Structure 1
Amino acid sequence: MQNQRNIILAVVLTALVLFGWEAAVGYFYPQAKTPVQTVAAGGAEKATSPTTPIKPTREGGLVDPNDVALEQKDLRAELASGGRVPVAAPGLSGSINLTGAMVDDLVLNRHRETVEKNSGPVRIFSPAGTPAQQFAQVGWLGQGGVAAPNAQTVWTAPANARLTPSTPVTLTWANPTGQRFAITYSIDNNYMITAVQTVENAGGVPVVVKPFALVNRTDKTASLSTWNVHSGPIGAFDGSVNFNVGYKCGSSFSFLSSCVDLDAQKSVVNQGKADWIGFTDIYWMSAIVPVNAKADSTFRAMGNDIFRADLIYDQQVVQPRSRVSATTKLFAGAKEHAVLDAYEKQGITNFSLAIDWGWFRWFEKPIFWLLTSLFKLVGNFGFAIILLTVIVRGAMFPVAQRQFASMAAMRAIQPKMKALQERYKDDKQKQQQEIMALYKKEGVNPLAGCLPMFLQIPVFFALYKTLILSIEMRHQPFILWIKDLSAPDPLHVLNLFGLLNFQPPGFLAIGVLALLLGLTMYLQFQLNPAQMDPAQQQVFKIMPWFMMFVMAPFASGLLVYWITSNILTIAQQKFLYSRHPQLKAQQDKDAQDKARAAERDKGAKA
């Protein structure tokens, strides 16, 4: 009995650690208010209103209303100033700034900001100086006094230049000593821009330059980073993806995963060959990739909530009347599973692992594949999750048969167990010995009912990771009020299901799906054998409602899975109970006893 109680408590604590930590950290430990200075183009500091990064949103983006308003104003001013080359591709749209040759204006054509159909596309890059600044730049460091272009350099583009998948664009600039610099940008149909940097030396002496590439961004737009889902600096070095560097580790308890605090250290020089380096949110990523060249890589904290990822190539000597080149790929887009896989097949090492599947990706990726395959079949992710649940329950049917047979046998011998408890109520050791002897005599294993619960934990965790990580699940509707299965249930009891203008905190945001989860768990537990130990009885009584509170803030798709699983379990359990001979005989006996008792009461009244 003690072992069984420990197993139950272990399951509850495991659920809390795996799924409850994120909600607790986000609610009880919001980030403190900090005044912010942003860096304007040209290097000057520009003051903005103080911000309150209450806590990063699940997807990322500005959270302070003042920043949102300022971003819209600054963005309009920056993009209307001219001196830009338009970018138009199926995956990306925007422009390249001729000042500094910066890629600083990009939106994702395939993804909307919100579930509303008229919401604009997701913006991933914004110019320097805007509250949401994020941009990429390639260039050179001049050695020995060579004049190289910088962030204030105004480049020249061909007339009517427009970057599309079929029309690359070359920007040029020449210094007074005879060196001509050129950057040729090309773009594919998804999210990859290729920059070829060329230096041609028309002077009379050799010159030395170091090509570089960088991604610059603010963490004010970062998505929530937790111990099991990383958001922040990311890179692959010597074929291994590094998730251990954070913007500011202490704010989200990232130290639990040995987080390196970039804001405190100011710079982190990465060891090993850089395969790619950049910054990731849950759904979006910007990364630079060296092509056929060795480059040193560094993460830097620039101050004022600005961070940078650098690639610096080996220095190159450019002889008179010759040229040298370096090629860097820039990924700026959504972490779509198929797209990342395709880039990995094209030679970018471990690019698909930018999705933080974790240690159990060997199990999570097949669940993801099955779920997306079912979605293609039925066209609705909610129904795909239900079908996935049916398949999982079907695969575990033989195990469930044994579980329910054991549970039915437990229910059948409960009268005998109660009799033993009464007989040996003053001798607990003898009571336990007699109960174990009864188990052995009746062929009952009291722990058999726990096995399916443990088997479902990997499936549940895999679905949890799939729903919160996969961009394919974002903004996928189900039915009625469920417009996004990757988001929590939007209707809550405490605000009368949306009638009151009040948003309850996460752990009190009990919605319709959470109520259904608690109810189905309660009904399921009613079919289980009553626990003989009073402590176990209390655990089983409160567990459905406890799990209702724990699961309420989680993705609606997870609750759809669990509710469906509970309903199938109840149906299967009742069916098997009805066919179990011992339990059926006990139920018939109980019915006869009740009928006789009713007859006696009737006779007594007469």
Structure 2
Amino acid sequence: MRQKSVDDNKRNMITAILLSVAILIGWNFVAAEFFPTPDKPDVTRTVAGTNGAAPAATPGQPAALPAPGMPAPTTAQAIRPIEAVLAEGNRIPIDTPAIKGSINLVGARIDDITLSKYRQTIKKNSPPVRLFAPGGTKAAYFASIGWSAQGIAVPGANTVWTATGTKLTPTTPVTLSWTNATGQTFRIEYSIDANYLITAKQTIANMGAAPVNASSFALIDRLGIPTDPHEQDSYTIHVGPTGFLDGKTIIDTDYDDVEEAPNRSVRYNSGAWLGFSDKYWLAAVVPAKGERITAAISSPAANNYQTLFARDFTQVAPGKQVTTTSRIFAGAKEVYTLQRYENDQGITRLSNAIDWGWFEFFEVPIFKLLDWLFKQVNNFGVAIMALTLIIRLAMFPIAQRQFGSMAQMRLVQPKMKALQDRYKDDKPKMQQELMKLYKDEKINPLAGCLPILIQIPIFYALYKVLMLTIEMRHQPFILWIKDLSAPDPLHILNLFGLLPFTPPSILSIGVLAVILGITMFLQFRLNPQATDPVQQQVFKIMPWLFMFIMAPFAAGLLLYWITNNILSIAQQQWMYRKFPQLKAAPTT
């Protein structure tokens, strides 16, 4: 009876461990399927830029961060299609190899940006990804620059600017200008590179009779947040307000944190850049390198969010002018593009807009190797398989030691069984004798765990690379696998799409998941059979349990694991020839 009780306890413990693993790994997918985050309401408010006078200020005084002028809420019927708003004119086109769009001459806003190289879906005629949209449209999203000043009128959201230049391109800048009634002229010279960086030189020229104190600022204004569950903040991927502020990367502040903060604002004394990060896209405002600014992430109204920086007030004497430089990043979070802006433009830690997390030191080399392999073979699926082969080759010496240790364990199993039978009623004594046996036979019982422990960070790094980097987005493999960063689209439960329903994610068993289960099952059959009947049962269940756990993951991850299993099976067969004493009859 005592032995039966021990076996029951072992069985219960192993079952609990398996269930815990399943819950920990699969929870995000179950939660996304059955407990989705409620959609935010549609945006029904247009935020104006700053307008009006700032509080009294003296030169050198830090700027009071301007608060946007908030007009009365509009009705839901006032929200118009983007095409209708853009058709109203008063715009300067933007045309580069990477982005298309326009600058609104009303308010000098950059509020129309689409990304030419990226499509919304994998469908052939899918439109390009839209990053910025003008005010008055659903989920408006734009960048603005402006001034605060004492005692004079400054340009605001409804100011109509005069343009010099007809199109903003990498070779043709555009200058906007506006003059108030007291003789101050405000100019914005926009220029753009071939990628995603817009530079705005802000000049205030004082042609009036008295000096003026002015402060310039730049902001990103966002109405609403992404409602797609895959584009929302999670434990592994930060989506929301971000930046390099007060000497650190901000990835722990989300939209709710801003709304719940005092005065609905989180303020900072310094910053290199700040904005909003989506899974693959970034909109950020960037001061000049080393420039003294104050910054804030705020929510001036419900479902409205801003990131803003402002400079100290500066006195502009009559007949003089002051120029400051702001930059706006609006584009895709391409790893090498962000790194180039870090190095060439001096934008501190801009590449941290990609939420690598604690294991950046390991994930970035995995990405760079995978990206290099892709450039050699021109197929990310093949590149993932090649990466798996490289990892297996690097781990081959470790695997040899693992198999050698397993062979030694196999040889001493009769002695171990004898000790277990002799001390079955005295567990401490049995453990003591087993440890002595391991020492006498020079066996490390944990050697077999080392390859598994090494695989965990590799698997996690590949998971982050596939989930985070836009270079993997919409990358096809073969046949039905059109996007390696998305789950397998063929589900067995709906007969591969023949039945008109989509199974919940926990039951979305695709072809790759079945292949994963089969290869894991074959791999376990080649392992020496466990002497403990409970362990035998666990090894029979594990392949099919992991089939369900891994099914909702990206197809690229399953491809990695399948390739790894196949290489493991081949390596096991080779090692069995070297250690024939290791091979045992397959489990049944």
Q: TM bucket by the smaller chain?
A: 0.7 to 0.9
Give the CA deviation at 1:31.
Answer: 2.2
Q: Distance in 2 between matches of 1:436 and 1:188?
A: 66
Q: Is the 8 A contact 1:410 1:529 kept in 2?
A: no
2:234 to 226, 230, 252: 226
Q: Distance in 2 between matches of 1:13 and 1:445?
A: 28
TM-score under structure 1 length normalisation = 0.85
Give the CA deviation at 1:353.
Answer: 1.5
The structure-2 alpha-carbon separation of the partners of 1:291 and 1:435, relative to structure 1 and needing over 3 Å to count, comes to closer
The structure-2 alpha-carbon separation of the partners of 1:139 and 1:34, relative to structure 1 and needing over 3 Å to count, comes to closer
Structure 1, residues 488-521: CA drift from partner, whole Å, max 9, x if none? 1111111111112211222111111111112211
Q: Distance in 1 between matches of 2:549 and 2:47?
A: 46
Q: Distance in 1 between matches of 2:531 and 2:262?
A: 56
Long gaps (5+) in structure 1: 50-69, 249-259, 591-606
Query: In the alignment, residue 45 of structure 1 is paired with which amino acid?
Result: P
**Partner residue, 1:147:** 153
Matches within 5 A, 1:384-399: 384-399=383-398
> Is 2:294 the counterpart of 1:296?
yes
1:241 to 246, 249, 253: 249
1:268 to 253, 265, 268: 265
2:281 to 284, 289, 308: 284
The structure-2 alpha-carbon separation of the partners of 1:439 and 1:10, relative to structure 1 and needing over 3 Å to count, comes to farther
**Partner residue, 2:527:** 528
**Partner residue, 2:59:** none
1:321 to 319, 323, 335: 319
Matches within 5 A, 1:539-550: 539-550=538-549
The structure-2 alpha-carbon separation of the partners of 1:433 and 1:527, relative to structure 1 and needing over 3 Å to count, comes to farther
Q: Is the 8 A contact 1:407 1:528 kept in 2?
A: no
Structure 1, residues 183-231: CA drift from partner, whole Å, max 9, x if none? 1111000000011111111111111222111101134326221112100
Give the CA deviation at 1:545.
Answer: 2.0
Matches within 5 A, 1:76-225: 76-143=83-150, 145-158=151-164, 161-221=166-226, 223-225=231-233
Give the CA deviation at 1:119.
Answer: 1.2
The alignment partner of 2:225 has SS state of: helix
The alignment partner of 1:476 has SS state of: coil
The structure-2 alpha-carbon separation of the partners of 1:6 and 1:205, relative to structure 1 and needing over 3 Å to count, comes to farther
Q: Distance in 1 between matches of 2:433 and 2:308?
A: 71
**Partner residue, 1:491:** 490
**Partner residue, 2:56:** none
Q: Is the 8 A contact 1:301 1:308 kept in 2?
A: yes
TM-score under structure 2 length normalisation = 0.87
The structure-2 alpha-carbon separation of the partners of 1:353 and 1:429, relative to structure 1 and needing over 3 Å to count, comes to closer
Q: Is the 8 A contact 1:295 1:312 kept in 2?
A: yes
Query: In the alignment, residue 499 of structure 2 is paired with which amino acid?
Result: L
Q: Distance in 2 between matches of 1:7 and 1:271?
A: 49
**Partner residue, 1:603:** none
The alignment partner of 1:38 has SS state of: coil
Structure 1, residues 339-372: CA drift from partner, whole Å, max 9, x if none? 1011001211111111111111111111111111
Q: Distance in 2 between matches of 1:532 and 1:583?
A: 14
**Partner residue, 1:31:** 37
Query: In the alignment, residue 246 of structure 1 is paired with which amino acid?
Result: D
2:76 to 48, 54, 57: 48
Q: Distance in 1 between matches of 2:417 and 2:355?
A: 51
Q: Is the 8 A contact 2:405 2:445 kept in 1?
A: yes
The alignment partner of 1:548 has SS state of: helix
Q: Distance in 2 between matches of 1:129 and 1:265?
A: 28
Matches within 5 A, 1:527-606: 527-583=526-582
Give the CA deviation at 1:44.
Answer: 4.2
Q: Distance in 2 between matches of 1:339 and 1:33?
A: 33
Give the CA deviation at 1:130.
Answer: 1.4
- Identity percentage of aligned residues: 53
Q: Is the 8 A contact 1:106 1:125 kept in 2?
A: yes
Q: Is the 8 A contact 2:44 2:74 kept in 1?
A: yes
Mean alpha-carbon deviation: is it higher for 438-447 or for 560-569?
A: 438-447
Q: Is the 8 A contact 1:230 1:243 kept in 2?
A: yes
Q: Distance in 1 between matches of 2:120 and 2:41?
A: 27
Q: Size of the alignment, in residue pairs? A: 552
The structure-2 alpha-carbon separation of the partners of 1:203 and 1:437, relative to structure 1 and needing over 3 Å to count, comes to closer
The alignment partner of 2:213 has SS state of: strand
Q: Distance in 2 between matches of 1:261 and 1:535?
A: 51
Give the CA deviation at 1:335.
Answer: 0.5
The two structures, once aligned, show a CA RMSD in angstroms of: 2.9
Q: Is the 8 A contact 1:202 1:322 kept in 2?
A: yes
Q: Is the 8 A contact 1:247 1:262 kept in 2?
A: yes
**Partner residue, 1:456:** 455
Query: In the alignment, residue 194 of structure 1 is paired with which amino acid?
Result: T
Q: Is the 8 A contact 2:104 2:110 kept in 1?
A: yes
Query: In the alignment, residue 450 of structure 1 is paired with which amino acid?
Result: C
**Partner residue, 2:444:** 445
Q: Is the 8 A contact 1:171 1:183 kept in 2?
A: yes
Give the CA deviation at 1:387.
Answer: 0.5
Q: Is the 8 A contact 2:519 2:565 kept in 1?
A: yes
Mean alpha-carbon deviation: is it higher for 386-395 or for 318-327?
A: 318-327
Give the CA deviation at 1:420.
Answer: 5.6
Q: Is the 8 A contact 1:196 1:325 kept in 2?
A: yes
1:335 to 333, 340, 365: 333
